[in-house]
Amino acid sequence: MSETDAQAEVTVVLPDGSELSVPSGSTVEDVAYEIGPGLGRDTVAGKIDGELVERHATVHDGARIEIVTDQSDEYLQVLRHSAAHVFAQALQRLFPEATLTIGPYTDEGFYYDVTDVDLDEDDLREIESEMDAIIEADYDIERVVRSREDALEIYADNEFKREILDEEAAGEEVTFYKQDGWQDLCRGPHVESTGEVGAAKLLEVSAAYWRGDEENETLTRVYGTAFASEADLEEYLDLREQAKERDHRKIGQEMNLFSIPTVTGPGLPLYHPPGKTVLRELSDFANELNREHGYEEVETPHLFRTELWKQSGHYDNYHDDMFILDVNDEEYGLKPMNCPGHATIFDQQSWSYRDLPKRYFENGKVYRKEQRGELSGLSRVWSFTIDDGHLFVRPDQIRAEIESVIEMIFEVVETLGLEVDVALATRPEKSVGGDEIWETAEEQLREVLESGGYDYDIEPGDGAFYGPKIDFGFEDALGRVWDGPTVQLDFNMPERFELTYTGEDNEEHRPVMIHRALYGSYERFFMVLIEHFDGNFPPWLAPEQVRVLPISDATLGYAHRVRNALTEAGIRAEVEDRDWTIGRKIRQGHDDRLPYMVIVGDDEAEAGTVSVRDRFENQQSDVDLDEFVDHLVTEYEQRRTEPTFIH
């Protein structure tokens, strides 16, 4: 091959790690045809370095390429993007005055932000009917390339689209997607026709700020979802109804776990005694794991002078999300993260290579100024607590320490009977540090995942501003995945804080910093557990583990003696002493999601026994009280996920 021919080709990396040379300027679709004609014909879209792109996107040398067909997991995202266009077309058929802004796909469907039109739930049904007509018509969805000048002329009266053209749609040409004469500025990808959408449903209408900024104009946001078939849509809607029943805000109120009253401020939860009990048990579990793995507990204040945040890089990269305070003409910031405080603790003394790794942990409260419209129960708040850990290690210790962190994370996962999705999050657009440092850090995390045999996805651009990370998403009982644990590799903060240790060569060396959290944050993890277990917490987590039910006032004294025996053994127990029938007491116990109820009458009082009933409505009579107490203690110590006394 001549030098000219070599320059005319690029090499791409396929999902199995093999390489393929294609002509320079090739698209994702071209790559698919090179692999095989059938795959080329089936190509809907592609992924370049983990980012979903249209099939016409040009590949570059060294790009990691995945082909998306209608059998791919990503196909639903493409379909929902097209459903957003179906909605927008239907909206403008019925309300020509409506102005369109943006309409992306989401994890559960899509939304479109619009203005110049007032919509309510009744309007959504009418729009939905028009969407059905567009889907049934099966219009071709055509990609059209236009000049920037033509696009600006098309959107002469749409300030939002013009802003997108000015700020995001770089280049002299931009793409539109067109169906039945209607068009929308969009970079894709999309399915080939509206009929592929299959089934769509509009879910709700709400308010939203343009670009998510409270200083900008308020828009109308319409949420919807879409699937390839009516059966898939019906299954989703059924799960959505189940999710409403499991909503942590609803269960939190029913179980008196937490509240977020208006008077406290947005995103600032209050934990009631039952909720704090669950959080305390989670904290004790995390603290136990930390100490077993050689971590030392530290504590840092809630705010620092902004000099610290400037040194760490948070001031420049995180300023908009921070609460900044003026105190006696000095600027302070509530901490959005705990890591700068831990780095400062490390920096307060000298270290030898023999001292490393140093492992710090802290259940540290942090504060982030999320947009009010994005706040939602415990899933997104202003004030939350991270079960934070920071390790300062030699380069040769990186792999072993990351593997140890992953081991801790999976101990949490297995103890609670959860499933996790694993992903490698790479360098974001807004970051600190040079290319070489980032490439080294990302490759080391990739090697740990691959050597451990973990199935993982790539999340391009989702790393922290100081380093890449491995994210673990908790999958709940309804199949939803929530952000959870993380382990992050950081070569940048030690450099910014000029952290050092003395090496075996008697020279100063820079440690590497590892950030990790076993839960992610207590708030979001608490939310996940509430919804995953539907409030039926594992016995070791349950705010009230046992309730003693006396059949009559005559056995109330014995009921209290039983409760005392339980509490002396460390079991959280109460007596139901209201003047109710035993049937009503049992029903209330089930409504309160108790792991166990203990029924005591004259026979039990005389024999010194109890009748045990679990949350599954299994019951066992004539149980020796000491035997039951011993079992509960063992069940608690082993952190079992379900009551196990009755078989």
CA 78 to chain centre: 21
* Three-point CA angle 384, 390, 393, nearest 5°: 170
Contacts of 603 (CB under 8 A, 6+ apart): 609
Task: Output the six-digit token pair for 298.
Answer: 């530290």
Residue 515 assigned to a binding site: yes
Task: Output the six-digit token pair for 512.
Answer: 């590497």
d(CA 522, CA 500): 32
Contacts of 22 (CB under 8 A, 6+ apart): 9, 10, 11, 12, 30, 31, 34, 59
Answer for the pair 184, 104: CB distance below 8 angstroms, yes or no: no
* Three-point CA angle 351, 355, 357, nearest 5°: 110
Task: Output the six-digit token pair for 287.
Answer: 């603290």
Residue 390 assigned to a binding site: yes
Residue 339 assigned to a binding site: yes
Amino acid (one-letter) located at 321: D
d(CA 11, CA 59): 9
Query: Packing angle between helix 398-415 and helix 435-451, nearest 10 degrees?
Result: 50
Total number of residues shown for the chain: 647
3-state secondary structure 359-420: EEEEEEEEECCCCHHHCECCCECCEEEEEEEEEEECHHHHHHHHHHHHHHHHHHHHHCCCEE
Query: Packing angle between helix 522-533 and helix 273-292, nearest 10 degrees?
Result: 110
Alpha-carbon separation of residue 259 from 202, 242, 256, 264, 368 (angstroms): 30, 22, 8, 10, 19
Residues placed in the known binding site for Zn(2+): 339, 390, 515
Residues placed in the known binding site: 339, 390, 515
